[in-house]
Amino acid sequence: MLEFLQYLVLGLLVGGVYALVASGLSLVFGVMRIINIAHGAFLILGAFLTYTLWSGPGIDPLLSILIVAPATFALGWALYKVTIEPVRTAPMASTVLLTFGLALVIEATMGVIWGNNATSIRPPYGSDSFSIGSFYMPKAQVFGGLVAIAVLVALGLVLTRTWLGRAIRASAANPTGAELVGIKVSSVSALVFGLGTAAACTGGAIVGILYSFVPGTHYTWIARLLAVVVLGGLGSLNGAILGAILFGLAETFTSAYVSAAWATAFPYLIVFAVLLIRPQGLLGARQREDASAL
């Protein structure tokens, strides 16, 4: 029982971090109908920026989020204006290609700036745990999970309690209607892309403490994050959180009770099975184009 509890906690902690990172991807899709393949690259960019602030001025990696998040929000906003906005209404294949290109450019830029050597962020609590007997909770994961919860709650409050949130939700639900009531969907989209980028980079700060990374690490992450948001339902923030938690638990329990060899593959089988039964994902809503296909 204690062993089960141990794996449950480890799985939830991993899922919490996945949730934070996946939230931005889902948000961007929800408002803009853009599958942002560059999201994983933003995650690793966040990890490298955090590394620089930690290794240079010695800023704690979790505190550095206070600098990384606003800076990358601005970066995301600017990138949207320059690269995404001109193709916002283009077919999805074009935006996928564009954001994939963006990911490659970010990867190459990170390689030039930080090199292709494996990088690690090791704060003093990076190797410590809260322990009771043989049961333990790694401090880095606990702190990372708490930050993830705080950011997700803040994001939830922005979406549900502010005019910006209402504008975002209106733009996601019905862009034409939103324009008619005076919401400038293009400006909202830029802000959402900025928020999505900041969420990815905030997740990167936490991921950087947990794992070593190189610029090319983003490929592994984008595959996992796409599976998470598809499982939860593309465009649904709550779906992304649920998908992430399930994904984290599936990875952990597969490794613990099935085989470590299946730990990375088995969660994708679950995604596949869920989509067979519920194509829109766990909490996703059917789109008009889905309904017309029936």
Partner 1 sequence: MVRDSAWRRLQVAALAGALALGVAACSSDDGDGGGGGSDSPIRIGASIPLTGQFSQQGKAAEQGYKVWQAMVNDAGGLLDRKVELVIKDDASDQNTVVSDYNALISKDKVDLLIGTYSSLLNLPASAVAEKNKMLYIEPAGGAPEIFERGFKYIFFSQQATADKQGKAFADWISSLPEDQRPKTAAYPTIDDPFVKPNVDGIRKILETAGVKTVYSTTYQVDLNNFDTIVNKVRAADPDLVVHGAFFDDGVGFIRSMLKADFTPKWLYQTTAPSLGDEYAKAIGAENTEGIIFAISHAPQAETPGNAEFVKKYEEMFGGLPPEDAADAYGAAQVLQAAVEAVGNIDDQKAMADWLRKNSVETILGDLKWDDDGRPQGEFLTGQWQNGKVEYILPAKFATTDHTVMGWEPGTK
Q: Does 258 bind partner 1 (CB under 8 A)?
A: no
Candidates 43-51, 62-70, 94-102, 233-241: pick the segment binding partner 1 (CB under 8 A): 94-102
Q: Which tokens belong to 108?
A: 């190459």
- Out of 71, 97, 149, 270, name the contact with partner 1 by CB under 8 A: 97
CB of 157 to partner 1, least distance (A): 30
Ranges of beta strands (E only) in the chain are 129-132, 135-138
Give 159-221 as a DSSP string: HHHSHHHHHHHHHHH-HHHHHHTT--HHHHHHHHHHHHHHHHHHHHHHHHHHS-B-GGGHHHH
Considering the complex, state which of residue 76 and residue 138 has its C-beta at the smaller distance from partner 1: 138
Angle 123-250-124 from CA coordinates, rounded to 5°: 5
Candidates 35-43, 96-104, 160-168, 286-294: pick the segment binding partner 1 (CB under 8 A): 96-104
CB of 291 to partner 1, least distance (A): 25
Q: Which of residues 210-249 bind partner 1 (CB under 8 A)?
A: 210-216, 219-220, 223
CB of 250 to partner 1, least distance (A): 11
Considering the complex, state which of residue 153 and residue 223 has its C-beta at the smaller distance from partner 1: 223
Phi and psi, residue 130, nearest 5°: -85, 125
CB of 255 to partner 1, least distance (A): 4
Q: Does 269 bind partner 1 (CB under 8 A)?
A: no
Angle 229-230-231 from CA coordinates, rounded to 5°: 90
Considering the complex, state which of residue 95 and residue 236 has its C-beta at the smaller distance from partner 1: 95
CA 132/CA 58 separation, integer angstroms: 31
Rounded to whole angstroms, what are the CA distances from 152 to 103, 127, 130, 160, 200? Answer: 24, 26, 24, 12, 12
- Out of 5, 66, 90, 150, name the contact with partner 1 by CB under 8 A: 90
Q: Does 5 bind partner 1 (CB under 8 A)?
A: no
| Residue-level length of the chain | 294
Q: Does 107 bind partner 1 (CB under 8 A)?
A: yes
C-beta of residue 212 within 8 angstroms of C-beta of residue 118: yes
Chain contacts with partner 1 (rule: CB under 8 A): 3, 6-7, 10, 14, 83, 86-87, 89-90, 94, 97-98, 101-102, 104-105, 107-108, 111, 115-118, 120, 122, 126-129, 131, 134, 136, 138-141, 210-216, 219-220, 223, 251-252, 255-256, 259-261, 263-265
